[in-house]
A and B are shown apart, each in its own frame.
Chain A
């Protein structure tokens, strides 16, 4: 049994209760045991004291979209290295996408992931199970058995189910087990050979464009099917103005639909792609600045529920290619919070809204006890300095892959300490408390 921990002199920010005030926090046996306004009310004997020095103390982040290469492509990322990167970025839980080799489409593989993560990963790994066998979009998987094995939701990862009939079956069946369906939106016939946002930039670059309709058409379909079946549905990631409008309308009629946005689509736009920078080749693609502004507004108005990193490690072999031939995806666990804080520093979004989309909202959608600073909740806690200046440098990347979309970016805001179930899993090198 580890010693109790007191985090004092903190700016407690808890989006679940809209709290932002000075205070202290007591951790006992891996759970939050007490909260105090101002100074701590008595420190238990033998307790470890963390002096937050006025920095923000918030729930650890919950990242709803993370890829690794374990099993199958461990040279890209293992559960252990992804967890290291997560801890450094203040992410205490992440939903693991099922796109591995083999795919996570069977209870035995869910079980493998859970046991492997328990043995090697320093943060909470929440496996999503494939909703179709082999992620092929042809036959549904054993939802009930997958849930029993510990899958937190159903998702087809990078794949988008093309058949409305199959999706209807999946949604109907998932509703039996009250399972959340998370779905990536990409109409294959509209994406075609497209590799970036459709528009003048794609045209001048000689690259095939992906129209927004490749996202809005499957989203409109999904929302109708979700209404029909009553399933809990989460649009994995939206990227364009039209999708915000569709989600806004759907939410007027249903409380069981939600959506996420990749931090990349909030912080970057299509201009970052030029000239042929493959680390910015993403799915959905980076859209226009107008679309990015709509994403920010959607976040502010609550239409967009969740911000995730879309952490997708790819080795240089598949990224150092001509743009059209390179793989999609960028890592993001380590830069998620700092990139999100850009929106706060620019005055576009308040800190509470940004944090809510990475803590209490994903926790609610996934049905987790974490994501809040409440007595009895797991002590998944981060201490961060919202103003700490740093530059993203390849040499400092913790993840096993280097394909960051923020190479060389100046950031303001860094995680100083990360606790998972009351255990310190990361301390910043420049954090005075790190000496302890």
Chain B
């Protein structure tokens, strides 16, 4: 197993670890380089747990985990659920429907209600940027951001970094090209922050309508020409395009988008020969990515899903299983 970081990461769980210095994981922006690497190391040590027949490391035995999703997400929600259960936590899923009339109105009320049930951790996804932080201010337990608006999705960035390190053996010095709807993507923001903190060269590639103001301060390079942006890239990270919302306004049509910003074999050939292809899912095959690439040998998309469980186990363990956190 590739292990380019600190060394003794063989033991999973909290034994021998420093306490994690935050109550919540709200975003990559709250983490320093050391804490990021620590979480990636912890996650790497969690990988074998999921691969063994008896998939359990009961460091969260007796803890209550609530998955509170204001936005549907089968994949992220089940990843957190499985991670919690493999650590022995009691997991409850709550999906909250938000209509346009009542949106957000229940957030603080919901927080107070759930808090009264004495959970140990609440995992929150919400369509509004900053909503998870707002909720965290109203509860007495750990809160993990599972995606808030266009702001952050920290466990996605961690699992992406772990996947890259597993495949490439290192992170520093690599070139990662992130391509697609940067403007509306929390995955892009968290990845840019995380990769930037680890001395990874980051490129963003998108038409100008999908590039937010000031992005040049977050990425090493900005490209509107995908071909140029992919040249020499070690990692190609594709983003989901919300094409129903973007068509006719941010992009003229799906077919034009696919022609210029969809990842196909011809464009991928411009990246390094050993470049890997990533996607946070769910994919729009034929919109941002050629199905043959998505399911091809260079795709690590299924590994991302596997690393997702390891990262979420590591984060839950770091937040909840440390003695200092338990007593706090």
Asked whether A206 lies within 8 Å of B151 as measured between CB atoms, the reply is yes
- Digitize B99-120: 1 where CB-to-A-CB distance is under 8 Å, 0 elsewhere: 0000111011000000000000
Asked whether A206 lies within 8 Å of B150 as measured between CB atoms, the reply is yes
A255 within 8 A of B: no
From B129, B212, B214, contact of A323 by CB (8 A): B129
Output the least CB separation between A221 and chain B (Å): 23
Asked whether A324 lies within 8 Å of B128 as measured between CB atoms, the reply is yes
B286 within 8 A of A: no
B42 within 8 A of A: no
Q: Give the residue among B130, B133, B189 with the most A Cβ atoms within 10 A.
A: B130
From A204, A276, A325, contact of B189 by CB (8 A): A204
Output the least CB separation between A276 and chain B (Å): 3
CA distance A323 to B218 in the complex (A): 22
Interface range on chain B (Cβ under 8 Å from partner)? 20 to 34
Residue of A with least CB distance to B189: A206
Asked whether B214 lies within 8 Å of A275 as measured between CB atoms, the reply is no
Within 8 A of B (CB), among A180-199: 198-199
Which residues in B have their C-beta under 8 angstroms from that of A275? 130, 133
Asked whether A325 lies within 8 Å of B217 as measured between CB atoms, the reply is no
Output the least CB separation between A173 and chain B (Å): 36
Asked whether A199 lies within 8 Å of B213 as measured between CB atoms, the reply is yes
Instruction: Decide yes or no: A205 and B108 within 8 Å by CB, A200-B214, A322-B134, A324-B149 being known contacts.
Output: no
Which residues in B have their C-beta under 8 angstroms from that of A200? 213-214, 217-218
Asked whether B129 lies within 8 Å of A276 as measured between CB atoms, the reply is yes
Instruction: Decide yes or no: A276 and B214 within 8 Å by CB, A206-B148, A321-B107, A322-B129 being known contacts.
Output: no
B152 within 8 A of A: yes
A220 within 8 A of B: no
A176 within 8 A of B: no
Output the least CB separation between B117 and chain A (Å): 21
A349 within 8 A of B: no
A209 within 8 A of B: yes
CA distance A432 to B188 in the complex (A): 60
A202 within 8 A of B: yes
Instruction: Decide yes or no: A199 and B214 within 8 Å by CB, A205-B129, A322-B129, A322-B130 being known contacts.
Output: yes
From A199, A204, A322, contact of B104 by CB (8 A): A322
Instruction: Decide yes or no: A207 and B131 within 8 Å by CB, A199-B213, A200-B214 being known contacts.
Output: no
Within 8 A of A (CB), among B164-218: 186, 189, 212-215, 217-218
Asked whether A207 lies within 8 Å of B189 as measured between CB atoms, the reply is no
A320 within 8 A of B: yes
B279 within 8 A of A: no
Asked whether A322 lies within 8 Å of B218 as measured between CB atoms, the reply is no
Enumerate 29 A-B pairs (CB-CB under 8 Å) in ascending A order.
Answer: A200-B213, A200-B214, A201-B214, A202-B214, A203-B189, A203-B212, A203-B215, A204-B29, A205-B130, A205-B151, A206-B148, A206-B149, A206-B150, A206-B186, A207-B129, A207-B149, A207-B150, A209-B212, A275-B133, A321-B107, A322-B107, A322-B130, A322-B131, A322-B149, A323-B128, A324-B129, A324-B130, A324-B149, A325-B104
